Amino acid sequence: MKYLFTPFTIRGLVLKNRIVMPALASFLVESDGSITQRTIEHYRRRAAGGAAMIMMEACAVSPEGVVSAHQARIYDDSFVEGLAGIAAAISEAGSVPALQIHHGGRQTSPRVIGRTPRAPSPLPCPTIGGKVDPLSTAEIQSLVQRFGDAAQRAREAGFALIEIHGAHGYLVNQFLSGFSNIRDDEYGGSLEGRTRFAREIVEEVRRRLGPDFPLSFKISAQEFVEGGLTTEESIEILKTLAAAGIDVVQVSAGNDATPEWICQPMFMKRACLAESAAAVRRALDIPVMAVGRINNPLLAEAIIAEGKADLVCMGRGLVADPQLPNKAREGRLDEILSCIACNTCMQSIFKIGRIECLVNPEFGREEELAVRPAARPRKVMVVGAGPAGIKAAWTAAQRGHEVHLFEKAPCIGGLLVPGSATDHKKEFENLITFGEHQMRKAGVIYHLNVTVTPDIVRQHAPEVVILATGSRPAMPEVEGIDNDIVAPFDVLFNDKHLPPAETVVIGGGATGCELAYHLSENGSRVTVVELQERAAAQLESITRKVLMQKLRSNGVRIMLRTRIVRIAPDGVVVADDTGREHFLPAERVGIAIGTRPEKGLYEAISQMGMEVYQVGDCISPRTAKTAILEGARIGLKI
């Protein structure tokens, strides 16, 4: 690649290439803010992957600025030793250590900080709510000093660049934006007043660090809310901050009311903020970092080549595959496991309090899922080439087992195949191609177009059988289900030549709503019928928000608390929660009420006395993330 792997210098700091891992919460910090070896190893692995600079996740400059119990802290000298361990690990692995300093402002809660949140104005956080106390002038000036103290500690800990977090609806952004700052004193009102807090922080940090230390500022150049920042306004802010002492800017977007612009879901195009970065770069004389769904080295190369940015930030991309930069530099593009923007990482934070990655189950489980040679290589038969079967097969083969993979379809992928049929989920195909490459590299032997029976199992005489037979679409037991207008969701997803038609989708879960979006994008008029009170309830909140917006803009009708009664040749009869029936005319009826496990082989093989395991949907329907993790674990167990 001509541009991506060329060096770049920021105020004397030499970066070996143009790839930066931005500050990304790991949730691997202990609840008291302490750093453990697991935290250090997380950063060491990302640094060893070949990125030029690794930015330590947002570190709180003040106790009331903490947004999570597992946020890193830098408001006391006692935190320096732990942070120094991270800086040293990043340096030893060949990357430049950087650190982001941060204050949450109103975007926290009393449960976390033990008091009422503080902010520029008494406006509650749109997502958290609750009472907010406005900061006094004295408190603001005290916080400026806190940022300066934090910068000094970061330098003491060994970090070579410091970034001020001025984006994403946190405190500095709250001052900058008319959406969150309604003060009428010198820290509000005009753009100059709203910029004053950020400018004073930059000036204080620059004073503390001296003229030669590299300083970055992260901004939400666009907030996508009424009264919020626009690119034009942000450029004026950045001109002021550049004069005050910043050396580089990371151009992000969004705030606490528009999180879809902070952690963009798969419905949003890749590099969706690159044009905003380009506008900033044209207006400023300092380097610019682009961020936002840059998950592919070819895309990153194009951004640099086209002059849209000087550096590219890959956060989730390096969670998915820490070795992405090294693989790209060596030309091993087909070995890169790309982030698919499923936002499983975000969902897992809120559900279980730590990050998990759908495509990379090893994240946070590096020791547990380390691949080690088998004590005794055996002949292994894997039945089913969905996500669980693929992962089990190549994991077992990597350990030295002779692995035979059987699949009744002509291709691998299982439900990932219909799952990647829509335009917004095309990147799921990468999971299939990556798995195929890993299996071939590990020596897995394929047997496609084979429906496995007990006799076939006997003929091949494996020592171990792994059943990953997956699931099939569930069909409701209602009158008319056999009508010609009825089709399960996988058939509709896989049919690339479906004409537009009046369509009713039965089932408004994630799959049903995605099917409705897919069909409406192709010109169909769609009605979704859902028994529950909420559509797409299983989806991660940001992804769901964007999907619901797209369904509304496409005119998709969603009928909640409604059940199917019967299907006629020309439509569907449904009943609402009062029992009243309605007829919905339809030329096509899609069924998306879930899946049922394929369990047929398990008992037969168990009776044959063979060692047999089940993974994935054949046990019960589960997410692709769970299926892949189970596949990894069983591949390591046998």
Show which residues are catalytic.
170
Backbone angles phi, psi at 603, to 5 degrees: -65, -40
Q: Count CB neighbours of 570 within 10 A.
A: 12
What would the two tokens of residue 31 be?
Answer: 């609840």
Backbone angles phi, psi at 285, to 5 degrees: -105, 15
To 10 degrees, what angle do helices 80-92 and 37-48 make?
30
The whole-angstrom distance between residue 347's C-alpha and the CA centroid of its chain comes to 9
Q: Reduced to 3 states, what is the DSSP secondary structure of residue 21?
A: strand
Q: Reduced to 3 states, what is the DSSP secondary structure of residue 84?
A: helix
Backbone angles phi, psi at 511, to 5 degrees: -65, -45
Question: Is 295 in contact with 263 (CB distance < 8 Å)?
Answer: no
Burial 294-320 (b: 16+ CB within 10 A, else e): bbbbebbbbbbeeebbbbbbbbbbbbb
Quote the CA–CA distance of 527 and 529 in Å, as a whole number.
7
Quote the CA–CA distance of 173 and 256 in Å, as a whole number.
10
Question: Is 416 in contact with 432 (CB distance < 8 Å)?
Answer: yes
Backbone angles phi, psi at 333, to 5 degrees: -65, -35
Run of H or E including 523: none
Quote the CA–CA distance of 394 and 161 in Å, as a whole number.
40
Question: Is 176 in contact with 189 (CB distance < 8 Å)?
Answer: no
Query: What are the DSSP calls for 572-632, one per residue?
Result: EEEE-TTS-EEEEE-SEEEE-S-EEE--HHHHHHHHTT-EEEE-GGGTS---HHHHHHHHH
Q: Reduced to 3 states, what is the DSSP secondary structure of residue 228?
A: coil
Question: Is 64 in contact with 17 (CB distance < 8 Å)?
Answer: no
Quote the CA–CA distance of 170 and 638 in Å, as a whole number.
48
Burial 387-424 (b: 16+ CB within 10 A, else e): bbbbbbbbbbbbbbbbbbbbbbeeebbbbbbbbbbbeb
What would the two tokens of residue 44 be?
Answer: 């060491």
Residues paired with 403 in a beta bridge: 380
**In angstroms, what CA-CA distances link 34 with 29, 41, 78, 562, 634?**
6, 14, 9, 50, 33
Q: Are strands 471-473 and 595-597 parallel, antiparallel or unpaired?
A: antiparallel
CA 268, 178, 23: angle at the middle one, nearest 5? 50
Quote the CA–CA distance of 224 and 229 in Å, as a whole number.
8
